[in-house]
Structure 1
Amino acid sequence: MATDHQELKEAADFESIANPDGQISICGFGSLLSERSARSTFPDLQNFRVAFLRGFRRVFAHTAPIFFERGIARLETKEISSLSVEPCAEEWIIVTVFEIHKSEVPAFIDREHEFRFLVALPEDISGKRFSHPAVVCCRYSDEEYLQVRCKGRKELFFQRYGRYNINQIWRDDILPCRVYLRHCVLAAKNLGKMAHENFLDHTFLGDRKTSIRQYLASQGLGIMEEEPPEMLKERYGG
């Protein structure tokens, strides 16, 4: 996917966007809209706040192995997708932004291994651009992921995905994982009406046409009423 945004491929590349205190700004657009979720992943994060990100859209087109690991993927209905974002000139999304220390970057890369890390410049709610750019986890392609992140090693791809019978990560024919979608909607709602409305209307299925508002009103009936499994109520509670 062609993009004008700087791509960060290795841990050392993140140095270019570190602030003078050695911190890296991260954009949250799905589960990380929830500060509780963000802190469960990054316990030492700082300065959690809401921001605008122009020129990107949210899309459910990413097969997430963590959902298989946690037993919440529904392969038979293709409800296996988590979120990524992708450049889209006319779109804009409300995100969260927070800082982590650059020493946490290798763990961040390992956790978000299949994503393309792009540099973006968020704005605060008044429209003023941040003084420092942030990294956002974007869509890759399977071919680029294999070559760039796995260094061409198919056994690494299999180690992360093959054991779940996943042979394709980035797909446009899958649907949101129900537990995860509910969590993201609730997390956006907790940020306020503007963030909630933005999530519903500027987040799309893999067809890039069906908004989450439309999906929940048609195919996704009942999702918002379903409680997550007991062991995941804290993590996926909005």
Structure 2
Amino acid sequence: MLYLVPTPIGNLDDITLRALRVLREADLIACEDTRTSGRLLDHHDVDTPTTSYHEHNEREKTPELLTRMRVGRDVALISDAGSPGISDPGFYIARACWEEDIEVQALPGPTALIPALTASALPSDRFAFEGFLPKKQGRQTRLTTLADEPRTVVLYESPHRLLRTLEDLIEHFGADRRAAVARELTKKYEEVERGTLKEVRSYFGGYKKVRGECVVVVDGAS
């Protein structure tokens, strides 16, 4: 069986009792980064063997994991933070298991998009999650399409590209569109900055260096 196990996005205590049980009972834990996951596993006294599994080796490692599961071994897949398959490895092996008739269980748990959305003070009854915008090819087309999206739009962004993305959003959505940026969620320096896109861009433009993964939430088109 394959277990998709969400892990904390910052605070190491944000993990369910069921997730810890699955990690302890699994035969193997496939980690996006074994060093990063090692800190979490050590914190919770989990000594299950681990193996590396990430976007650059998932195609070559998946057959090996499938072989284990075919003979009754349980594999738990975790990413560095959040739920596997949400802008992280997980989709490829889950589909491969489905094709092989191997059971997949996805556990509920941490993900950055929901806390950011609910803390943004923007409508959360309907929203469009877009993950990371394309870096180059297709970026302008995606932004043009999203500008007319009536639902609240949620994006992931790295700190060093945040200002560029906010500037692109201003260009396509308009400077007065309401928005929020959540940074360092669940960590010591967590913050959520709300305002218009222009105001949020001005606020983060005052940073010498933006740190921490960011979630950008933008009001839908009226």
Name the one with the larger strand percent. 1
Q: TM-score, normalised by structure 2?
A: 0.27
- With the length of structure 1 as denominator, give the TM-score of the two structures: 0.26
Could you say which structure has the greater relative contact order, defined with CA pairs below 8 angstroms and 6 or more residues apart?
A: 1
Structure with higher Rg: it is 2
